[in-house]
Structure 1
Amino acid sequence: MSEGADIGRKGSLFLSILFSFIGAGLSIAAILTPSWQIVNLREYGSIHEHGLWLDCTRHSRDGNHILQRYATITEPLHCVYKFDYDKYSGTFELEDDNSPVGEVNRHKFYGWHTSTLILLGFALLTTGLSTFIGACACCHSSLAILFTIITLLTTLLSAIAEGIFFFFSHRADNRFIKGIVGTYEQRVGTAFFLQMAAAFCHLASFIIALLFTYFSFASSKDSDGFSIQRSSRTNVTNIGR
């Protein structure tokens, strides 16, 4: 029983840390990718990708063209950092946020962008901390509970960050962009789904961490029971002598 519990303990710890690493990698990819929100402004022939700290635009050339070189679906991205926003330059303060020119006002930091970044940053830090504690828990079973708690904290931070972005991105003032002809809807993009996958990976890591805690205590209990039994037999032998 002790040997089986030890194998289960090591295997569950390895899987839990593996899922944590996968979740952290997906979160990093989501942070670096600008496609949290995507909108296709067809009347301007451009696709806008709005991220947490980086926004990109690419020109779209749909339809039939005489020249083959114009038949490409998209062109390379042209990106700008949100921290390069200057409210005194261009038309940032002169246009309505919902106007076609005022769309540039979306290329700046908002509170929900900052909150999402901060929570994801803490999630990455707790992932590193849980990995370190998990490595120590491999030799010290008493750290199994702490490892599980930190893994749960990582899961919550990741899920809350995803929830905050989802809530604010679906508000009408953030979701729709008015053009001259029509109104365009921003949809969540690849980065959003990457972070969603990261949250599920952290959840899987937490569930497996619960198994690790169970096997750790089972292994520790069997070890203590064996020691007590061996000690009692030794004492009985000594008394007989």
Structure 2
Amino acid sequence: MARVMYKFVLITSILLIVAGLLLTAFSLFSPVWEIVDFPRNHLSHHHGLWWDCIVHHDTLIPLYELQAEQRGDRCDSKLDTAVQANLRIALEKGDDDARELLLHRFLPHHKGVIFFAVFTFVFGSISIAIGACSPCFPPNSLLYVVGVFMTGACSILADVIFLYAFSQKPNQLLKEITRETVIMSRSERSSALMSYVKRLGSACYIHMFGSFLLVIGFIFSIFCAYFLITSKHAHDVCCASKKEYREQTRWRNSGLILKTGHGRQVSRPFVVIDDDSSI
């Protein structure tokens, strides 16, 4: 029973790790980590880790229609030098939307998410390899637990960094507006504050769900190590060659017992064992 439970828990934990890594990879290349809505202009800015998109309402991206191109729906890379130059010019002019343009840069929390995502994939790949080899060497199950823990920890740290930066931006924005709009009237200040609304995008939630799957996989890895260490027959799940299997089961077989036919206890039976090497 412990052997069956060990197989089930090991396969489930590996599948959870693979699913978490796939969701993490999908979220990294999505531009919908943070959404900034402009109600007055009927458009939204989608901010990702690598690129940003400007999307008018009731439109989808990527956009290939001529009408969409005329309306200005597009996606730009954060690493594009031309885009960075345009951002610097807009910030120097002090446009009304210059504060929102700060989100189009490659910010430190974007780098932090990518940094920990790389280690998430590294530890996740190592964990899968160790987990697959743990039946042949039971102490590997403890390394498997450590590897899955590091995988989930890196993914959770990436979520914490992004959520912390997202929650701090409104306060920083309020300080900038307070410094730069001291001569504005009260109505002008309120209109500047309400010019756009920020919210988390679907990519952030997908990444957090991937972290949740990795945490569940870590819990399963603990049970996997427990069943492997406590089971006496857990090593039997390891793949062995045909020759090794014959050597292990050679003396377990009862064979064919022949007796002399006498009922006395002194008669000694002999055992005939089928062995290919004797042929």
Q: TM-score normalised to the size of structure 2?
A: 0.67
Counterparts in 2 of 1:145 and 1:181: CA distance versus 1, 3 Å = closer
Q: Quick check: 1:159 aligned with 2:156?
A: yes
Question: Which of the residues 5, 9, 12 maps onto 1:8?
Answer: 5
Q: Quick check: 1:194 aligned with 2:206?
A: yes
| Alpha-carbon distance between aligned partners in 1 of 2:77 and 2:103, rounded to the nearest angstrom | 12
Indicate conservation of the 8 Å contact 1:37/1:51, yes or no. Answer: yes
Question: Which of the residues 150, 165, 174 maps onto 1:168?
Answer: 165
Corresponding position of 2:260: none
Counterparts in 2 of 1:23 and 1:220: CA distance versus 1, 3 Å = same
Indicate conservation of the 8 Å contact 1:85/1:108, yes or no. Answer: no
Q: Using the TM superposition, name which of 206-215 and 115-124 deviates more.
A: 115-124
CA shift for structure 1 position 222? 8.2
- Cα shift readout 1:70-101 (whole Å, capped 9, x = no counterpart): 9x9xx8951111111454446244144x8314
CA shift for structure 1 position 181? 8.3
Counterparts in 2 of 1:222 and 1:78: CA distance versus 1, 3 Å = closer
Question: Which of the residues 203, 218, 237 maps onto 1:206?
Answer: 218
CA shift for structure 1 position 6? 1.4
What fraction of aligned residue pairs are identical, expressed as a percent? 25
Counterparts in 2 of 1:135 and 1:175: CA distance versus 1, 3 Å = farther
* Count of aligned pairs between the two proteins: 211
Question: Which of the residues 57, 67, 73 maps onto 1:60?
Answer: 57
CA shift for structure 1 position 106? 1.8
Q: Quick check: 1:136 aligned with 2:148?
A: no
Counterparts in 2 of 1:174 and 1:200: CA distance versus 1, 3 Å = farther
Counterparts in 2 of 1:202 and 1:37: CA distance versus 1, 3 Å = same
| Alpha-carbon distance between aligned partners in 2 of 1:108 and 1:179, rounded to the nearest angstrom | 24
Q: TM-score normalised to the size of structure 1?
A: 0.77
Structure 1 stretches lacking a partner, 5+ long = 63-69, 224-241
Counterparts in 2 of 1:61 and 1:18: CA distance versus 1, 3 Å = closer
Matched position secondary structure for 2:40: helix
- Cα shift readout 1:173-216 (whole Å, capped 9, x = no counterpart): 57789976833221001001001100110000000000000001
Structure 2 stretches lacking a partner, 5+ long = 60-66, 178-189, 236-279
| Alpha-carbon distance between aligned partners in 1 of 2:51 and 2:172, rounded to the nearest angstrom | 16
Indicate conservation of the 8 Å contact 2:124/2:151, yes or no. Answer: yes
Which of the two has higher C-alpha Rg? 2
